[in-house]
Amino acid sequence: MTDIINLSIKEKVYQDKKTKLSILNDFKLEVHAGEKIAIVGESGVGKSSLLNIIGLLDMDYIGEYALWNTPTGKVRGKEMARWRNEKIGFVLQESALINSLTIEDNIKLPLLYAESTKKKLRLEDYEKVVDEIGIRSILKKKPLECSGGQRSRAVFARGIIMKPEIILSDEPTASLDVENRERIVNLLFHMNKEFNTTIITVTHDLEVANRHDRVIRLERR
Amino acid sequence: MKIFKFFITKIFLRKAILCISMFMLLCLANYTTFIASRSILSTLQGYQEIKCMNQEGIFIANLDPDSNIDMDIIGETGTRIVYDYLNSNHKYAFYTDGFMIAVPNDDDMEISLCYMNEGYYELNQFDISHGNDLFFDFQLDKEEAIPVLIGTGLSKTYPVGSTIIIDEPVLGRSVILKVQGVLKQNSCHSNFYALNSKSYYNFSIFMPVNQEFIENANIDLQLNGLMDLIILDTTKEKTEDLSRFMYDNLGLKFNFFSQEENFDYFNDYYLYSLKIIAITTLILLVVITCISIWNALVSIRLMMKDFTINLLVGLSYSRLRRIFYSYFGILFGVNLLVISSITALNRYECWLRKDATFVTYGLFGLIGMDWLALLVVLFSDIIIGMIVVESMLRKIKKIPISLGVLQ
């Protein structure tokens, strides 16, 4: 099987106003197309930072990263933005919605940046996605008018609307009850089964993690 | 365009208070720059105009502030003696204005009469749009028309070659004027002592004044003419003699300032004022720009989640930069439009008030100086815009777009 992710990090320095941490030292990751990977570890070991790097959101690290056999160092910002739009879907916690937009506008946000032919195709899929996820009744509502579970499904819908090849999922079930957690995990795995989408999930939930093909445990060194 | 529209309507305008405060700040910056640059440009233009009088051998009369100013005791005999003395001993430039008369015209304006002799006319080199130069060797005879130059506004009613009959206020009788030429549009005169203050000649009549004219004129013209008298090709000693002669015959103490004295005065007073205006404006601009940056960074902080989500789903930094520049372009554009409209309205107000000395002509009501000042504003906008936008982008890049921002 072909690797779609080939990542080798020597060092990533995480810095904020108070702390400076060296994380992900000598970390290597190879991922095949269609694989389901869970990343676990205690807070502060660099789980989200790793997801940022894989998702082309963070280029500030020492190491090498090839995505679809293309060294990301050679990819221009505009092209990275296109990849984030078309090939990488982000499924985040329920708070990752723009509160001033309706749920429908939030879900359709990636279409704003899509090329016209892709946009047409994805618009056709939109209705199907909305029904499959069961959020038709809240489309005209604003995020703050919806429950946590509904918002999570909306975030999920936005993450898959472009039919990405990779879904990066950061604690997608963190604030959900058991029923909604199951729903989101099933939706993720459904994408993997139906479209061979690669799933990389950062989670604290070991039960969710163990349902993936591979579990990577990050530890502090 | 769709993305830009989305950002304007769904992101920026949703935080209306931030948009309004930014707009107000930029408006303040623009208006300050506009007023200061127009004032400086106007002063520089006045400085250029006055430069022709700031030559060696030229002395400008100035009534001593401590001098007796009871004009009622001055008789025509005194002024006549002074003018006889001037004619015999000096070459001088004579100019006085402010005599308003009613002359029927298409715009129903009161007309200002400006009296000048050949010396003043040659010194100032007025631009004429059509017709011929003024000449001064006319006979002040009832039968002969006096050649005059008129302003552009008046030329619509009185083209070159036409005649105007007026009740001449200083001669005290009716005279016929013949339009010899038309002054260039927006020709103006700067106040000697406030160079940025202008009187426009669009509705003025330039009356040529010769020796015979002064002799026949009333004391108002004779005295007013002495107030701004310019003595040409002379020396300090000769002007001191003249000053003494004037004091003896009129009881008025006149000072005559030389080229050097004038030059020092201009440098000390006008250049200093210009420097103060420029420095104050610059400081104000820096302060306003700093507040604008702070406002922009607060906006970024409040909209960080919105930007991050957009960056996650396909927005690139280069596109975000374009969006910011377009957004500020619109803010500056609206500002420029507001300033242009206010200025045009101010100029139009002079037309409504029938204020003949201030009415002007120009594209969309704005004269050349206004356009130049707007150009300066545009230039400062480009600089402010670049500083603010790049600061915003730096801030966004400094907080790496990450999933953490959303959580």
DSSP string, B111-154: EEEEEEEHHHHHHHT--EEEE----------SSSPEEEEE-HHH
Determine the average pLDDT of the residues in B302-320: 90
ipTM above 0.85, yes or no: yes
Q: CB of B191 within 8 A of CB of B241?
A: no
Predicted pLDDT of residue B24:
92
Token pair 């790097």 is found at A53
* Mean pLDDT in residue range A184-203: 91
CA–CA gap between residue B360 and residue B340 (Å, rounded): 15
Classify B233 as helix, strand or coil. Answer: coil
Q: Supply the pLDDT for residue B209.
A: 93
pLDDT at B82 over 70: yes
CATH of the domain at A73: 3.40.50.300
Q: Which two tokens stand for residue A73?
A: 């160092």
Q: Which residue has the higher pLDDT, B377 or A175?
A: B377
Give residue B404's pLDDT: 58
Q: Residues of B numbered 1-40 whose beta carbons fall under 8 angstroms of chain A's beta carbons: which are they? A: 2-3, 6, 10-11, 14
Cross-strand pairs, A63: A9
Listing DSSP states for B20-55 in one string gives: HHHHHHHHHHHHHHHHHHHHHHHHHHHHHHHHTT-S
**Helix (H, G, I), strand (E, B), or coil: what is residue A4?**
strand
pTM, full prediction: 0.82
Note whether A206 contacts B: Cβ–Cβ < 8 A: no
Contact B407 A78 (CB under 8 A): no
Partner-chain residue, chosen from A48, A58, A98, that has the shortest CB–CB distance to B309:
A98
Residue B354 backbone class (left: φ over 0; alpha: ψ -120 to 50; beta: rest) = left
Strand pairing category for B91-93 and B230-232: antiparallel
Q: Which residues, in sequence order, are CB contacts of B10 under 8 Å at separation 6+?
A: A98, A100, A101, A105
Rounded CA separation A108/A157 (Å)? 9
- What's the mean per-residue pLDDT of chain B? 88
State whether the Cα torsion B386-B391-B394-B399 is positive or negative: negative
Segment among B137-141, B150-154, B224-228 with least mean pLDDT: B137-141
Q: Which long-range contacts (CB under 8 A, 24 or more apart) does B319-325 make?
A: B319/A78, B319/A81, B319/B3, B320/B393, B320/B396, B321/B389, B321/B393, B322/B4, B323/B3, B323/B4, B323/B7, B324/B389, B324/B392, B324/B393, B325/B385, B325/B389
Percent pLDDT > 90 in chain A is 50
pLDDT for A199 beyond 90: yes
CA-to-CA distance for B311 and A98, rounded, in angstroms?
12
Higher-confidence residue: B312 or B55? Answer: B312
Mean pLDDT, all residues of chain A: 89
Which residue on chain A is closest to B12 by alpha carbon? A100
Contact A112 B314 (CB under 8 A): yes
- Name which residue leads in pLDDT, B114 or B54: B114
The count of CB pairs under 8 A between chains A and B is: 87
Quote the domain boundaries for residue A23.
3-217
Band of pLDDT at residue B403, cut at 50, 70 and 90: low
Which residue has 């803010």 as its token pair? B331
Q: Is B179 exposed, middle or buried (0-12, 13-18, 19+ CB in 10 A)?
A: buried
Contact criterion met (CB < 8 Å) for B313 and A60 = no
Higher pLDDT, B75 or A8: A8
pLDDT for B406 equals 59
The more confidently predicted of residues B103 and A95 is B103
Q: Quick one: chain B helix, strand, coil %, rounded to 5?
A: 55, 20, 25
Note whether A90 contacts B: Cβ–Cβ < 8 A. Answer: yes
Pairing of strands A166-170, A198-202: parallel
Q: What is the pLDDT of residue A47?
A: 87
Contact of A94 with chain B, judged by CB distance below 8 Å, is answered with no
Residues of A in contact with B402 (CB under 8 A): 48-49, 52, 57-58
**Which member of B14, B305, B404 has the closest CB to residue A48?**
B404
Asked if A81 reaches chain B (Cβ–Cβ under 8 Å), the answer is yes
pLDDT band at B142 (very low <50, low <70, confident <90, very high): low
Tell me which chain B residue has its CA closest to the CA of residue A97.
B309
Smallest CA–CA distance, residue B293 to chain A, in Å, is: 21
Question: Total domain count for chain A?
Answer: 1
Backbone angles phi, psi at B140, to 5 degrees: -80, 75
Classify residue B336 by burial, with Cβ atoms within 10 Å: 0-12, 13-18, 19+: middle
- pLDDT at position B253 is 86
For residue A175, what pLDDT is reported? 73
What distance in Å separates the CA atoms of residue B344 and residue A40, rounded to the nearest whole number?
68
The answer, yes or no, to whether residue A28 has pLDDT greater than 90, is yes
Q: How far apart are CA A43 and CA A220, in angstroms?
A: 10
For B283, other C-beta atoms within 10 Å of its C-beta total 10
Q: What part of A 115-174 touches B (C-beta under 8 Å)?
A: 158, 170-171
Nearest to B100 by CA among B113, B87, B82: B113
Cβ distance of B403 and A98 shorter than 8 Å? no
Which among A91, A165, A157, A89 is positioned nearest to A127, based on CA atoms?
A157
| Type of residue at B34 | F
Please tell me which of the candidates B11, B314, B403 has its beta carbon nearest to residue A113: B314
Please state, in angstroms and rounded to a whole number, the distance separating the CA atoms of residues B203 and A82: 65
Q: Which of A135-139, B18-22, B76-80, B322-326 has the lowest mean pLDDT?
A: B76-80
Closest residue to A48, CB basis, from B309, B316, B402: B402
Q: What is the mean pLDDT of residues B51-55?
A: 78
What are all long-range contacts of B303-309, with beta carbons under 8 Å and residues at least 24 apart? Answer: B303/B11, B303/B15, B304/B396, B304/B399, B304/B405, B305/A96, B305/A98, B305/B405, B305/B406, B306/A98, B306/A100, B306/B11, B307/B11, B307/B396, B307/B401, B308/B401, B308/B402, B308/B405, B308/B406, B309/A96, B309/A97, B309/A98, B309/A109, B309/B406
> Is B319's Cβ below 8 Å from some Cβ in A?
yes
Percentage of chain B beyond pLDDT 90 is 47
What whole-number distance in Å separates Cα of residue B118 and Cα of residue A47?
90
The DSSP call for residue B309 is H
> At which residue do the structure tokens 């300033």 appear?
B339
Which tens digit of pLDDT belongs to each residue from A118-171? 777 788 788 888 888 888 999 999 999 998 888 988 998 999 999 999 999 988
Residue B99: closest CA among B167, B16, B8 = B167
Searching chain A, which residue's CA lies closest to the CA of residue B304? A98
Selected for mutation to probe chain A from B312, B317, B323, B401 (highest A CB count within 10 Å) is B312
Strand order of the β-sheet with A36-40 is A88-91, A166-170, A198-202, A36-40, A214-217
B368 exposure class (CB count in 10 Å sphere: 0-12, 13-18, 19+): middle
Comparing A180 with A105, the larger pLDDT belongs to A105
Query: Which amino acid is it at B154?
Result: L
- Strand-pairing partners, residue B181, are B131, B149
Chain B residues with CB inside 8 Å of A92's CB? 403, 406-407
Picking from A137-141, B96-100, B142-146, which range would have the lowest pLDDT averaged per residue?
B142-146
Number of CB atoms found within 10 A of residue B228's CB: 17
SS (H, E, C) A43-97: CCCCHHHHHHHHCCCCCCCEEEEEECCEEHHHCCHHHHHHHHHHCEEEECCCCCC
Q: Tell if the CB–CB gap between A96 and B406 is shorter than 8 Å.
A: yes
Contact B175, B146 (CB under 8 A): yes
What's the pLDDT score for residue A67?
A: 93
Residue B178: strand, helix, or coil: strand
Q: What is the mean pLDDT of residues B35-63?
A: 86
Q: Tokens in use for B20? A: 């309004």
Tell me the one-letter amino acid at A80. Answer: M
Q: What's the DSSP call for residue B290? A: H
Q: Is A197 or B66 the better-scoring residue by pLDDT?
A: A197
Q: How far is CA B131 from the centre of its chain?
A: 26
| Closest chain B residue to A175, measured at CA | B407
pLDDT for position B14: 81
Task: Tell me what pLDDT residue B405 has.
Answer: 57
Task: Give the burial class of B116: count Cβ atoms within 10 A of its Cβ; 0-12 exposed, 13-18 middle, 19 or more buried.
Answer: buried
- Which of B313, B243, B102 lies closest to A92 in space, CA to CA? B313
Is the confidence at residue B271, as pLDDT, over 60? yes
Nearest CA in chain A to B404: A48
